[in-house]
């Protein structure tokens, strides 16, 4: 008898980790890697840019390190932030530094502030600024030598032009006319000193990316509109500038398609690679697909697609030995992001034998017969670190370069696994990730938090990322079983899966999610009296909608979401996304804009809802959040809205705001998540849903009748 008890106690102790859970402060002590660059000449060192949030001092601490792989030596180059990936040529590294980032929001550029490119010399350890003028740099690239750099800025105004404008308009802004195109320049250097700046061409667009051909004779740039607003897809094309031609004023247009070309790389044999990630199509009318890789042959403008048999999304790629050995892609399929190699665009795509989880930020450089490949890897219980290999076939013996997040290997972490269910309306299988509270892996009857990713063209994968947006691990550590559903619209499940939210942008994915909650209740995994939900951006569009469709959730978290779509289209910087999703402008398909909007059904909400507004959001207009708050407040539904001043859609200016967002959301779930609102016994199915609407429609008519007779 005693022995038996002893045995049980032992089992119990064995099951419970001796490690402590991480705290909210530790959660925000996570380091992310914002860029990796391999030494172009010998591949023996890498540049690593890190970002670490010091929330109590309002500082985004950004470091640029030079790591030597042979002796694992680490040298700090700068603590100033850099908004661009550093560009490396020989002994020199070109950087654009943002001034010291104590609250970057305060650092809005004034019109006479001088702009610099900084050049760092590895051999002399000098960092010198090159003054380039008053306009901010949109992009830059080395020529084939370290003698010149090409860069693009907005075409500067002459003092006369400025004077004329001031006389005629003073401070009045002409909305559309205020934007103007770019000038591409060449800056010549001698001994790290700027000798001259030569304007090459003025264009009516803004330059998005710039690359130089391996022989140094041509430049290719991609464009976007001067306003940066995604209104017309034909503003986004590739152009070629022949540097050997003395009259540069006529760039050659290389593409004429309905896609946004990004992530340009020039192969040694004259192909220009690019990706299109959920932003139109290169070979048909505008249509979104998962991330794809293409090349264009600039001799005949032919475009070929790589990895075209891959069912998932191409997230990123590298050219192996300048393209001679083909490409390696980072491919996300289901909840894994793995490396795949392809020798030529027509050959087979071969999965490389690596570790389970998520690979990110791949980079390479090769010289002679050696190459170095670096990347970030993480999985459910492995924090992100940088690793390297010398050969793509050695993926499973990659060596770590960093140990920035070692703290988390000493903490008792949530364990994750994939979970699948069926949307009973159309029998589609949906997958999500379940993240269990520490020590509760695969336990039953747990309180549930459904965390809906944004995008919608994203996916939750087997990875480890900690921040205000990727907050699943924090919520699990707070005791919630976290379901992260890869609803219709997510990447990694085929193009049809991604596209099937068109015309049903919230109603269809909402069903995917709600059937997932049903399945968890049915399987005894989630406690149906303790259901909560939340999401950010598109995840909040869905949250706002879902709380109008069911009262089963005790608490909801909504961040930077929309509750209607006309102002959403009219105020966002990417209106084309609305047009594509609904198949027309608001005046062409008004019923769809209305049908898929939470605001017109908001009176069905009973769930206490916490709302976060980034104060300077132009992706999802801040007004959308105030509309939601006013509606819930008018209906006496518990709600609280907090504003994060000066923050853009994806925050990042002041880490204090990120911490407060999460602190308040945790509190909201703690406070209301365990209290059953009104429908604890309601399980989602179309029958009960239907009745609910009928009753409410009936009540509505009664009220209208009453009002009528009163008058
Ligand atoms: C963050 O981590 C660093 C080093 O890992 C440690 O020195 C510091 O005390 C940590 N801060 C918090 C708030 O945990
Ligand atoms: C930026 O801040 C760091 C540390 O706070 C300091 O050492 C450095 O001199 C500052 N740089 C500039 C340009 O102010
Ligand atoms: C560059 O600097 C080095 C050392 O300061 C000097 O010897 C050399 O002449 C300089 N070259 C030019 C072109 O100015
Ligand atoms: C580009 O625009 C600037 C400013 O308007 C003008 O001074 C310059 O002559 C233009 N350059 C070319 C090559 O057209
Ligand atoms: C570009 O494509 C559009 C239709 O997609 C077509 O109307 C136009 O003529 C094309 N322009 C050129 C220069 O080929
Ligand atoms: C690019 O096109 C040219 C002209 O059709 C062709 O000769 C060349 O082989 C192509 N290059 C590659 C790498 O396919
Ligand atoms: C990796 O994932 C596969 C399928 O998801 C699984 O069968 C395998 O056991 C996993 N391997 C490791 C080492 O976890
Ligand atoms: C490159 O190849 C040459 C000749 O095949 C060989 O001598 C040399 O050691 C190789 N270098 C590396 C880094 O593998
Ligand atoms: C749920 O059902 C149980 C038993 O069927 C009942 O006792 C309870 O009052 C119901 N709760 C609510 C909130 O309707």
pLDDT tens for 672-700 read 999 887 656 555 443 344 444 444 555 55
Confidence of residue 411 (pLDDT cuts 50, 70, 90): very high
The enclosing domain of 663 has a CATH number of 3.40.50.1820
Ligand 6 centre to CA of 257 (Å) is 21
Summarize the confidence of residues 602-624 as an average pLDDT: 97
CA atoms within 13 A on the CB side of 355: 20
pTM of the complete model: 0.90
Ligand 1 atom index nearest CA of 25 = 13
CA 616 to ligand 6 center in whole angstroms: 47
> What is the distance in A from the centroid of ligand 7 to the CA of 337?
13
Ligand 4 site, residue 155, Cβ cutoff 6 A: yes
Residue 145 counted as domain residue: no
DSSP 596-640: T-GGGGGGG--S-EEEEEETT-TTTTTHHHHHHHHHHHHTT--EE
Q: What is the distance in A from the centroid of ligand 7 to the CA of 587?
A: 50
Q: Return the pLDDT at 704.
A: 57
For residue 4, the SS3 value is helix
Supply the Cα-derived Rg of the chain in whole angstroms. Answer: 27
- pLDDT tens digit sequence for 51-107: 998 888 888 889 999 999 988 899 999 988 777 889 999 999 999 987 654 444 444
Is the CB of 111 inside a 6 Å radius of any atom of ligand 3? no
Mean pLDDT, the chain, integer: 91
How far does the centroid of ligand 6 lie from the alpha carbon of residue 300, in Å?
Answer: 7
Backbone angles phi, psi at 671, to 5 degrees: -75, -45
Q: What is the mean pLDDT of residues 433-437?
A: 98
Residue 513 in domain: yes
Q: How far is the CA of 147 from the centre of ligand 5 (A)?
A: 39
Angstrom distance (rounded) from CA 286 to CA 579? 11
Report how far apart, in Å, the C-alpha atoms of 52 and of each of 32, 413, 650 are.
Answer: 7, 20, 16
Residue of 265, 296, 299, 326 to mutate, ligand 6, most atoms within 8 A of C-beta: 299
C-alpha 187, offset from chain centre: 33
Is 191 a pocket residue for ligand 3 (Cβ < 6 Å)?
yes
Is residue 259 domain-resident?
no
Q: In total, how many domains does the chain have?
A: 1
CB 696 within 8 A of CB 604: yes
* Average pLDDT for 242-262: 89
Half-sphere exposure of 254 (CA within 13 A, CB side): 28
CB-CB contact of 59 with 689 (8 Å): no
Q: Is 202 in the pocket of ligand 4 (CB under 6 A)?
A: yes
- pLDDT attached to residue 680: 62
Please work out whether the CB of residue 26 comes within 6 Å of at least one atom of ligand 1. Answer: yes
User: At 509, is the pLDDT very low, low, confident or very high (cuts 50, 70, 90)?
Assistant: very high
Nearest ligand 9 atom, CA 681: 1
Tens of pLDDT, residue by residue over 308-363, are 999 999 999 999 999 999 999 999 999 999 999 999 999 999 999 999 999 999 99
Q: Give me 229's structure tokens.
A: 């607003």
Q: Is residue 428 in a domain?
A: yes
pLDDT beyond 90 at 462: yes
The pick from 54, 76, 78, 79 for probing ligand 2's pocket by mutation, whose C-beta has the most ligand atoms within 8 angstroms, reads 79
Residue 80 alpha carbon, nearest atom of ligand 2: 1
pLDDT of 189 higher than 50: yes
Kindly state the percentage of the chain with pLDDT values over 90.
Answer: 82
Query: What burial class does residue 5 get, using C-beta atoms within 10 Å of its C-beta: 0-12 exposed, 13-18 middle, 19+ buried?
Result: exposed
Give me 387's structure tokens: 């690793």
Question: Is a pLDDT exceeding 60 seen at residue 568?
Answer: yes
pLDDT at 246: 67
pLDDT digits (tens, 9 = 90+) for 126-174: 999 999 988 999 999 999 999 999 999 999 998 999 999 999 999 999 9
What's the pLDDT score for residue 80? 82
Residue 488, in any domain of the structure: yes
Question: Is 640 part of any domain?
Answer: yes
| pLDDT value for 9 | 45
> Which of 366, 369, 394 gets mutated to test ligand 8 (max ligand atoms within 8 A of its CB)?
369
User: Can you give the residue range of the structural domain that contains 437?
Assistant: 412-697
Identify the pLDDT of residue 693: 46
Query: In the prediction, which pLDDT does 711 show?
Result: 47
The enclosing H or E element of 532 equals strand 526-536
Q: How far is CA 32 from CA 16, 60, 119, 211, 413, in A?
A: 29, 11, 24, 27, 18
Q: If you average pLDDT over residues 419-437, what whole number do you get?
A: 98
The closest residue, in CA terms, to atom 4 on ligand 2 is 79
Q: Give a yes or no: residue 265 inside a domain.
A: no
Structure token digits, residue 609: 């809802």
Measured CA to CA in angstroms, residue 138 lies from 55, 154, 208, 312, 594 at distances of 29, 8, 7, 31, 38
Mutate which of 152, 183, 200, 249 to test ligand 4's pocket (most atoms within 8 Å of Cβ)? 183
pLDDT in tens, 520-555: 999 999 999 999 999 999 999 999 999 999 999 999
Task: Find out whether 611 and 640 touch, Cβ atoms under 8 Å.
Answer: yes
Report yes or no on 393 lying in a domain.
no
In the chain, what percentage of residues exceed pLDDT 70?
A: 90
> Angle formed by the axes of helices 538-549 and 507-522, to 10°?
70
């Amino acid at each position: 008898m005693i022995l038996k008890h002893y045995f049980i106690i032992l089992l119990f102790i064995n099951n419970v980790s001796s490690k402590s859970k991480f705290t909210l402060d530790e959660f925000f002590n996570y380091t992310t890697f914002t860029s990796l660059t391999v030494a172009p000449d010998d591949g023996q060192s890498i540049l690593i840019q890190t970002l670490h949030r010091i929330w109590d001092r309002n500082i985004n601490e950004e470091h640029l390190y030079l790591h030597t792989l042979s002796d694992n030596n680490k040298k700090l180059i700068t603590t100033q932030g850099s908004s661009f990936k550093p560009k490396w040529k020989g002994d020199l590294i070109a950087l654009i530094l943002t001034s010291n980032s104590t609250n970057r929001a305060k650092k809005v550029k004034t019109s006479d502030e001088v702009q610099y490119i900084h050049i760092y010399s590895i051999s002399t350890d000098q960092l010198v600024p090159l003054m380039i003028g008053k306009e901010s740099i949109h992009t830059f690239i080395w020529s084939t030598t370290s003698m010149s750099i090409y860069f693009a800025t907005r075409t500067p105004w002459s003092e006369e032009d400025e004077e004329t404008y001031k006389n005629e308009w003073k401070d009045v802004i002409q909305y559309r006319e205020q934007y103007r195109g770019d000038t591409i320049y060449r800056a010549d250097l001698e001994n790290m000193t700027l000798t001259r700046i030569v304007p090459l061409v003025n264009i009516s667009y803004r330059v998005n990316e710039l690359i130089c051909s391996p022989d140094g004779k041509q430049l290719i740039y991609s464009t976007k509109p001067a306003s940066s607003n995604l209104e017309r897809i034909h503003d986004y094309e590739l152009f070629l500038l022949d540097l050997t031609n003395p009259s540069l004023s006529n760039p050659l247009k290389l593409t004429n398609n309905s896609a946004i070309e990004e992530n340009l790389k020039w192969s040694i044999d004259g192909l220009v690679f690019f990706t299109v990630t959920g932003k139109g199509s290169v070979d048909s009318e505008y249509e979104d697909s998962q991330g794809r890789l293409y090349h264009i042959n600039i001799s005949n403008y032919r475009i070929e697609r790589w990895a075209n048999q891959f069912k998932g999304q191409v997230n990123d790629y590298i050219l192996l030995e300048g393209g001679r050995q083909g490409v390696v892609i980072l491919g996300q399929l289901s909840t894994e992001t793995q490396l795949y190699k392809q020798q030529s665009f027509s050959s087979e795509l071969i999965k490389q034998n690596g570790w389970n989880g998520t690979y990110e930020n791949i980079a390479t450089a090769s010289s002679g017969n050696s190459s170095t490949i670096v990347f970030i890897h993480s999985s459910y219980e492995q924090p992100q670190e940088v690793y390297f290999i010398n050969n793509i076939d050695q993926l499973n013996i990659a060596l770590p370069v960093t140990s920035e997040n070692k703290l988390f290997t000493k903490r008792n972490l949530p364990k994750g696994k994939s979970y699948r269910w069926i949307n009973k309306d159309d029998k589609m299988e949906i997958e999500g990730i379940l993240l269990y509270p520490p020590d509760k892996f695969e336990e039953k009857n747990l309180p549930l938090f459904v965390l809906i990713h944004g995008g919608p063209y994203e996916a939750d994968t087997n990875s480890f990322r900690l921040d205000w947006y990727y907050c699943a691990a924090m919520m699990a550590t707070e005791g919630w079983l976290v379901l992260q559903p890869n609803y219709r619209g997510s990447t990694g499940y085929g193009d049809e899966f991604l596209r099937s939210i068109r015309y049903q942008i919230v109603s269809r994915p909402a069903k995917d999610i709600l059937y997932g909650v049903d399945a968890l209740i049915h399987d005894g995994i989630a406690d149906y009296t303790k259901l909560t939900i939340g999401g950010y951006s598109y995840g909040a569009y869905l949250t706002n909608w879902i709380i109008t469709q069911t009262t089963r959730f005790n608490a909801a978290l909504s961040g930077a979401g929309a509750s209607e779509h006309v102002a959403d289209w009219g105020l966002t910087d990417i209106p084309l996304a609305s047009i594509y999703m609904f198949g027309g402008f608001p005046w062409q398909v008004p019923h769809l804009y209305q049908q898929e909007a939470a605001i017109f059904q908001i009176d069905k909400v009973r769930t206490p809802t916490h709302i976060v507004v980034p104060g300077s959001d132009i992706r999802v207009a801040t007004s959308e959040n105030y509309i939601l708050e006013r509606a819930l407040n008018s209906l006496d539904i518990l709600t609280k809205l907090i504003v994060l001043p000066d923050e853009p859609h994806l925050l990042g200016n002041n880490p204090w705001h990120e911490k407060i967002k999460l602190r308040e959301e945790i509190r909201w779930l703690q406070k209301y998540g365990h209290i059953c609102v009104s429908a604890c016994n309601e399980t989602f199915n179309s029958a009960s849903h239907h009745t609910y609407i009928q009753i409410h429609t009936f009540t509505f008519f009664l009220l209208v009748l009453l009002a009528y007779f009163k008058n």
